Structure 1
Amino acid sequence: MSETATPMEVEQSSDKSKITPWVEKYRPHSLADVAAHRDIIDTIDRLTSENKLPHLLLYGPPGTGKTSTILAVARKLYGNHFHNMILELNASDDRGIDVVRQQIQDFASTHSFSFGAKAHVKLVLLDEADAMTKDAQFALRRVIEKYTKSTRFALICNHVNKIIPALQSRCTRFRFAPLDTSHVTDRLKHVIAAEGLDVSESGLAALVRLSNGDMRKALNILQSTHMASQQITEEAVHLCTGNPLPKDIERISYLLLNESFATTFSGISEMKTKKGLALVDIIREVTMFAFRIRMPADIRAQLINDLADIEYRLSFGCNDKLQLGSLISSFTPVRSALVAAAK
């Protein structure tokens, strides 16, 4: 006798679909669905198909497809047995040596399953592996050596230099670079069409620009903006994220290049207060603007370096007013160069 879903169950299912983060809802389920890095994906796909999957170390910036790739590999290998054959840990939470000695070793030491005539190795996925302590990494190295016949290890991290050389040498390394704007745009268009969203061209361009090659960030901004505004425009995207609008950056840039220190300081301070802007966001946008100004290469390099120093100091909680003064002062050589070029 077939079971029919009650209206309440249908409504609950619909509500669950609405609140699901789009990052998870539209996560690739197969290697063919991964948006970019086709050379890496094709290599891993071939190794998986030939049952020659090595230990993997995937590294690169956030939101570039590292975790999605490994999960797609696991689905291809194990199908419906996915949850029995994979141990997924976030090393930023479970990062001590006890986790390696207990959870990971216990999982790796159990026998592998066979699906039909084909035996499969198990998979241990360690996300954010660069957060593991050094002792835990050394212990993991020994576990990898001991259980290589029955288990494969996939390490995912943002900063590969925080992984000890002994672990790096036991893994095949793949670097995931920030996504091209074309890949981010194509994926966003797919989600926009699937969700039936009203997104302007300038709004889409703002989403792509603010994501900086991070697909997770792009989808989160898109979903947040949709929840705040029915029409997703450039202004709606900037207001939702708290980023300065392009017209605000134009005004700030004009002040930096043309007005006195006192006028510029008061003007930017007033904009920060009135529009609720963070100085660190202004610095990032001004840095992008600096690449578009015609100036000698050495002055540009110095300006970019100065702006990076200011952003670094802000990350440690340095006084906003002092750093705003530093921002204005860093443009003095630029103004001199522009005046000299005009003469």
Structure 2
Amino acid sequence: MSEVESEADEVAESDEAVEPDEAAEAGRDEIWIEKYRPERLDEVAGHEDITERLSRYVERDDLPNLLFSGPAGVGKTTSAVAIAKELYGDDWESNFLELNASDQRGIDVVRDRIKNFARSSFGGYNYRIIFLDEADSLTSDAQSALRRTMEQFSSNTRFILSCNYSSKIIDPIQSRCATFRFGPISDEGVTEQILKVAEQEGIETTEDGVEALVYAADGDMRKAINALQAAAVMGEVVDEEAVFTITSTARPEEIEEMVTHAIEGDFSKSRSILDDLLTNKGMAGGDIIDQLHRSVWEFDLSDEATVRLMDRVGEVDYRITEGANERVQLEALLASLSLEQN
């Protein structure tokens, strides 16, 4: 028997020796967002139209420079890594350079690390891939240097840029890339993935628990899976209570009750709910504003009241962004809604 066959038998025997419960317990020590990160483009959830087009580039081995834009946790990095794995197989790590522009913003990064990687020799492939995450954090000078580097090494290097806002990428770079816009993942896509992970990990979920995970995630698959893993530690069943506790998210009905009391002119009750959210639940003012904005059209309010609320939300969000006190601004929002009824 050859050494390879002998080692294969030993691995098989060791796998058989592991009890299912032990394997599941060992799996829980891993970070689930990495454990269940898709390996191929056709496994990326929620963006079938995008992954189909990217797969055609991979099949033809004719990859252009790419620009992925969209919110966090929707599959931009996963798609970039999947492209590399499909193109290079086991050699993907040596042919794929990942940089995070938010940590390395300077022009020296473009001039040094990127150029050194692009210049280094390699064999067997037509090009290597440089993945620049959060590229919209690069300074204008760094982006200009990046543009020149993209031109200089166009024969043997492909760039994949990831950003939240493509408008912050200079036009010369945008014109050199095929742009793909990733939107938030649909509620159905998040639900399907949550149930799949829960089944793999042997986690019991309730219907309202899954709905709470979907609401808290708001289209962010990474946030949904992280929340599922955190909630699974709290008890045997992942229910609504566990999810809202672990994610520090207000229930939609709490937000609606707070706004409804304010619109009805009862500022004291409205302020009491706000105080509970900020003090007892430890929510940030910005998170409350985000939930207000997400849920405002779902409230049982008249069109006139909804428009007034949206106007106040926009003003308060701007002031908080500019550095104003969160509690004061939120209380002022509720007060202004109450005063209109008195």
With the length of structure 2 as denominator, give the TM-score of the two structures. 0.87
TM-score, normalising length: structure 1: 0.86
Cα distance in 2 for partners of 1:326, 1:250 equals 17
Matching residue of 2:33: 23
Change (3 A) 1:84 1:201: same
Q: Secondary structure at the match of 1:173?
A: strand
Query: Residue by residue, what CA displacement relative to the aligned partner does 1:194-217 show, whole Å, maximum 9, x if unpaired?
Result: 011111000000100111101011
Alignment partners' CA distance in 1, 2:164 and 2:277: 35
From 69, 91, 99, the equivalent of 1:81 is 91
In the TM superposition, residue 163 of structure 1 has moved relative to its aligned partner by 1.0
**Pair 1:180 & 2:180 matched:** no
The structural deviation recorded for 1:251 is 3.8
Tell whether the 8 Å contact from 2:264 to 2:338 is kept in structure 1 after alignment.
no
CA contact 1:303–1:330 (8 Å) conserved in 2:
no
Tell whether the 8 Å contact from 2:250 to 2:277 is kept in structure 1 after alignment.
no
Q: 1:92 Cα shift?
A: 1.2
State the identity as a percent.
38
Q: Within 5 Å, which residues of 2 pair with 1:220-239?
A: 220-239=226-245
**Whole-angstrom distance in 2 between the partners of 1:271 and 1:171:** 44
Tell me if 1:261 matches 2:278.
no
Tell me which residue corresponds to 2:302: 295
Match in the other structure for 1:139: 145
User: Which residue of 2 is the match for residue 326 of structure 1?
Assistant: 332
CA distance in 1 between counterparts of 2:53 and 2:283 reads 44
Deviations 1:263-293 (A, max 9, x none): 5334543564445444444443344443133
Aligned residues: 330
CA deviations over 1:18-49 (Å, ceiling 9, x no partner): 32211111111001101021111111111121
What residue is the counterpart of 2:42 in the other structure?
32
Residue among 203, 207, 210 paired with 2:213:
207
Distance 1:320 1:95 in 2: 30
Offset of 1:320 from its aligned partner?
4.0
**1:192/1:270 Cα in 2 relative to 1: closer, same or farther (>3 Å)?**
closer
Q: Note the residue ranges of structure 2 that are not aligned, 5 or more in a row.
A: none
Alpha-carbon distance in structure 2 between the residues aligned to 1:15 and 1:195 = 9
CA distance in 1, matches of 2:42, 2:338: 51
* Aligned-partner Cα distance in 2 for 1:136–1:268: 43
Show CA shifts across 1:96-150 (max 9, x none): 1111111111111123421xxxx33111111111111211111111111011111
C-alpha RMSD over aligned residues: 2.7
